[in-house]
């Protein structure tokens, strides 16, 4: 056989996420032995050892890491093709809420592909702080919301992901070594702001708010001008700024989680299609 069946790739991705056969089997609706046999078959097909046991968890080997990247992309393309071919006449409006910083990173590419696949669906995108987006969804002003959360919880595959947080400064200024640390932050209620202040206080690091702005563009401009430092997800640090290294003595921050929120009982075909499409594409980020 010169190809890998998609059901094996799907099981492999879930095993990698769950770090074990049992939890992956629960999500697949299969028994633990059945999932184990699938992984054995996958290793036989590839001629590689893909998983190794580390205590009670399964870890990926280097070959497993390579296959995981391919598997996530193959599954995303598979779902993209199915979504495009299954509902070519899909129409309607979807009101989507997105945190400011993600609206200028990877989401435009995903939304652009969705719009190409479903040209009759209108996307109304609102960018704001996560707490405000969630409040609008509760008032039924938005259909879907991507929101940042300081706490972590188990989420279904494709329904969210974890982002590493890093301190960000201007490469042309020394804001990150000043005392007190000058901060460029969003208004009260911002997850990043809360994480910054709580950890600086915990580590007894003197700080002051030097610049406040609700927009991602304004935050970037403030940091670029040397007004202070901020914190962002590593994946969205914009060009022109740099992540502060651990050697530069600002406290390490725990990650945040990004989750997709919507009400399955109040959806339309267009909303369901966008949820499925984004979930499939987000799996490649996990």
In this structure, what CATH number is given to the domain that contains residue 131? 3.40.190.10
Of 64, 84, 104, which residue sits at a domain end?
84
pTM of the predicted model as reported, rounded to 2 decimal places: 0.64
- Are residues 113 and 75 part of one domain? no
Position 46 in a domain: yes
- Are residues 248 and 274 part of one domain? no
Counting the structural domains of the chain, the total is 3
- Are residues 237 and 275 part of one domain? no
Closest by Cα among 51, 106, 50, 52 to 76: 106
- Are residues 273 and 217 part of one domain? no
What are the structure tokens assigned to 197, written together? 């202040």
pLDDT of residue 242: 93
- Are 146 and 240 contacting, i.e. CB atoms less than 8 angstroms apart? no
- Are residues 244 and 181 part of one domain? yes
Phi, psi of 113, deg, nearest 5: -65, -40
pLDDT of residue 85: 73
pLDDT of residue 156: 59
- Are residues 270 and 247 part of one domain? no
Burial class (CB in 10 A: 0-12, 13-18, 19+), 16: buried
Q: CA-CA distance, 183 to 197, in Å (whole number)? A: 9
Helix extents (H) in the chain = 6-18, 21-28, 32-46, 62-86, 107-117, 130-138, 191-202, 216-224, 269-282
- Are 281 and 262 contacting, i.e. CB atoms less than 8 angstroms apart? no
- Are residues 98 and 23 part of one domain? no
pLDDT of residue 172: 92
Helix extents (H) in 129-207 = 130-138, 191-202
Host domain of residue 64: 6-84
- Are residues 236 and 281 part of one domain? no
Task: Compute mean pLDDT per 10 residues along the chain, 286 residues long, and list them.
Answer: 85 90 85 90 91 88 92 87 70 92 79 86 92 94 92 66 91 91 94 92 94 92 95 89 83 89 87 84 58
- Are residues 80 and 66 part of one domain? yes
Q: CA-CA distance, 48 to 80, in Å (whole number)? A: 29
- Are residues 179 and 45 part of one domain? no
Position 147 in a domain: yes
Position 1 in a domain: no
Q: CA-CA distance, 222 to 229, in Å (whole number)? A: 8
DSSP state of 20: S
Of 36, 58, 84, which residue sits at a domain end?
84
- Are residues 111 and 131 part of one domain? yes
Q: CA-CA distance, 58 to 14, in Å (whole number)? A: 12
- Are 228 and 180 contacting, i.e. CB atoms less than 8 angstroms apart? no
CATH assignment of the domain containing 64: 1.10.10.10
């Amino acid at each position: 056989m010169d190809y890998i069946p998609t059901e094996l790739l799907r099981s492999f991705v879930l095993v990698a996420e769950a770090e074990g056969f049992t939890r992956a089997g629960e999500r697949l609706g299969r028994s633990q032995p059945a999932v184990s046999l699938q992984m054995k078959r996958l290793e036989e097909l590839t001629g590689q050892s893909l998983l190794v046991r580390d205590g009670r968890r399964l870890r990926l080997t280097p070959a497993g890491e390579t296959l995981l990247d391919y598997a996530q992309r193959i599954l995303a393309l598979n779902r993209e093709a199915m979504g495009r071919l299954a509902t070519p006449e899909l129409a309607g409006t979807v009101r989507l809420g997105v945190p400011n910083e993600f609206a200028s990173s990877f989401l435009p590419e995903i939304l652009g592909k969705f719009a190409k696949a479903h040209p009759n669906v209108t996307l109304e995108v609102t960018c704001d702080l996560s707490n405000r987006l969630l409040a609008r969804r509760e008032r039924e002003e938005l259909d879907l919301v991507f929101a940042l959360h300081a706490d972590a919880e188990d989420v279904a595959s494709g329904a969210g992901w974890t982002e590493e947080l890093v301190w960000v400064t201007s490469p042309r200024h020394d804001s990150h070594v000043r005392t007190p640390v000058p901060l460029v932050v969003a208004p009260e209620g911002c997850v990043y702001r809360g994480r910054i202040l709580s950890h600086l206080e915990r580590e007894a690091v003197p700080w002051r708010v030097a610049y406040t702005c609700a927009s991602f563009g304004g935050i970037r401009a403030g940091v670029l001008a040397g007004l202070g430092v901020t914190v962002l997800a590593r994946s969205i640090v914009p060009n022109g700024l740099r992540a502060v290294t651990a050697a530069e003595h600002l406290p390490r921050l725990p990650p945040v989680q990004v989750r997709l929120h919507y009400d399955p009982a109040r959806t339309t075909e267009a909303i369901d299609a966008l949820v499925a499409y984004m979930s499939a594409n987000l799996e490649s980020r996990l």
